[in-house]
Structure 1
Amino acid sequence: MAPKRKLRRDFSEDFADDFPEDEDAPTGRKQKGVRLRFRWGMPATKWGRMSAGFGLVVLAGLCFGALLLVRDSVMHDPRFFIQSASSIEIQGNVHLTRDELVNIFGEDVERNIFYVSLAQRRTQLQQLPWVEHATVMRLLPNRLRVSIVERTPVAFVRQGSQIGLVDASGVLLDMPTHGDAHYSFPVVTGILASDPLSTRAARMKIFEQFTSDLDSSGEKISEKLSEIDLSNPEDVKAVIPDNGKDVLVHFGDTDFLNRYRKFEEHLQEWRTQYPTLSSVDMRYERQVVLDMQPGASATNAGSSVAVLPTAAAADGMNAAAPSEAAAKPAARTAIKPHAKAHVAAKKAPVSKWKRASAKAKAHRATAKAHARVVHHAAGNSRYHSSQVVHP
């Protein structure tokens, strides 16, 4: 029987290969080499970052050099040179000639297309009065395309003895030298080249309101006007032809269509009574002022302006006329007679015009004492020697 004793065995050799190398071992015992660690795509070590930066610099230099090489090649390549004016394509011109537009690109002919400043050429094109908007594009390898939008004239404009055109923005345009465009516009006065563009634009806005109001019924009444005066924004005046004679009509600044209809309705009656009628003032709500030609006198009256109450005009001009207005010189004015004289005038029938005039003479002292003067913008309240006043 074997004696009891403790068995001992050294297992260190069996598991020697299973234990990792001690991390706290001296540095000299570690394996030698360079390790690169990356954080977020960048090297974590100093030398790694320096190497990556140097590589990027070299790569950027190579790309820049290649770009310069390509650019130099393109700038000197004959294929990218504008050979002649025929290489410039023009679109949208009706009133402007091709030569007027191509002249702006005169220094670009036989020049590299990439040297042409598109913004500068567009600005030069839009400085031409007829050009409202312009677009310039490159068509590689050696062509330019120019597209323009021309302004639309809305009226003739008188500048002294010259006649031109004007658009809705107040831009003055020369008469086109070519093309088959035919216009049928009224002539506008009161638009001056010396006025700032803002002033001209404001007056053309009044013109647009005036013509739009007249044409709102679809009758195209504005085509019957031969001339429109916009010099006074508070009083739009229009010259209207009538059987070979022109009549100047004061429309004021509102209610244009209604005032025109009243004028048209009674024009022939006024022509019958006043063959030398030259102007009609429709600005007043309760009366109409008729003016005669200078030096002329109205039929059956002793002066050449008639102030007719609106109701009387609607009834066939049943009115009387005091005669002493013809003896007083001054600017034209509108006078509304005293109520008594007006009542007497309304009682007189149209067929007894002369008798009504005699009654008015009998009451001229009362009418003169109680007459109400309508003041004009200038502040004058005088009588004109060439005017007749009717109640």
Structure 2
Amino acid sequence: MQVVSHEILDTEAIRRDFPVLHQKVSGRDLVYFDNAATTQKPKAVIDALTGYYEGYNANIHRGIHHLAEKATGAFEATRIAIQRFLNAAHVEEIIFTYGTTDGINLVAQTYGRKFLGEGDEIIISTMEHHSNIVPWQMLCEERGCVLKVIPVDDNGDLILEEYEKLLTDRTRFVSVVYVSNALGTINPVKTIIDKAHAVGAKVLIDGAQATSHLDIDVQALDPDFFVFSAHKLYGPTGMGALYGKREVLEAMPPWRGGGEMIKEVTFEKTTYNDLPYKFEAGTPNIADVIATQYALEYVDTLGKKNIAAHENQLLAYATDALSSIDGLRLVGTAKEKISVVSFVMDGIHHQDIGVILDQQGIAVRTGHHCTQPLMRRFGIAGTTRASFAVYNTTEEIDRLVQGLHRVKKMML
């Protein structure tokens, strides 16, 4: 891996760090444009996983032998790495989860159940992933809360004037996505957070799509909660983190019961552990937690600004190239976007597009992208989505364009 001068990334060197990219699909070199679903993993992350299982596999925190102490040290080093990555004030504000979905459910089931009741209002947005809709619907059904939704304009931007109208003295919680997985829109979350705090509401930010593209500073943004998944950040699946302000986390009850989250158990009463362990019951996903540190180090070595500059070039190139195809319409044209392009083609179903592209070795995502309400807002069943990462190239985008011309010839 090498970063050359002038903040220009050596893409070919970077690609050598990702073993999965060097294969053929249907006899063609793989083009992987499904990064918003999951990014590929650099060799350093893969080696960290195998290194744990081959070299020091042991349960953590409860052992005093050498392997247990080594595993515990590596496990907790990732917590410190995430604290620095998010610029959290305290390491105990970082709770390990199984991903973004798990983190949102943790907040809904703990903070929500304790502090939200009948008539309290929860605000989400039209562009939310199902993972940031369904947990709040479930809470509303159980607790009698009211769910309100920020609308989206034709470009795929949140309508902030309508958000301001939704805020009332009964608003207790706001939960919004930082970056849309379906459109690529970057939302003005600082403004959203500040306006929510002005009426006394707590705020959760879904950072699943943001962390690999944008600098994150939770002290500057000031959310009460921030969640993300490692597997969208060049890390392993089954691993994520919840950031929460310490005083808010301390006021919340635990969610899951069992080992590690306790101080003392009797048949009469259990006393719960301190942060962060109060929310980490049972044997965790040790190997994937450890490997996540290497993913963060990889991103830090490349530099977020360098990554963003590279991906913005890809986005601009792809937007121009795709716009030149007759009958293709981009869905989501906000001015502030990450490297995601969603589109529909006249007379061709998105699933057919995905199948024909796959036959040419090009991996894209098709469907509603777990954002069915957003798709309904645009009057479509789904889109074809190409999402770019640090290892992608303009030459690969040229292959996508060629592939779409082939789709048209075959289907029309």
TM bucket (normalised to shorter chain) is under 0.3
Q: Which has the higher contact order (CA 8 A, sep 6+)?
A: 2
- Structure with more of its chain in helix, by fraction: 2
TM-score by length of 2: 0.19
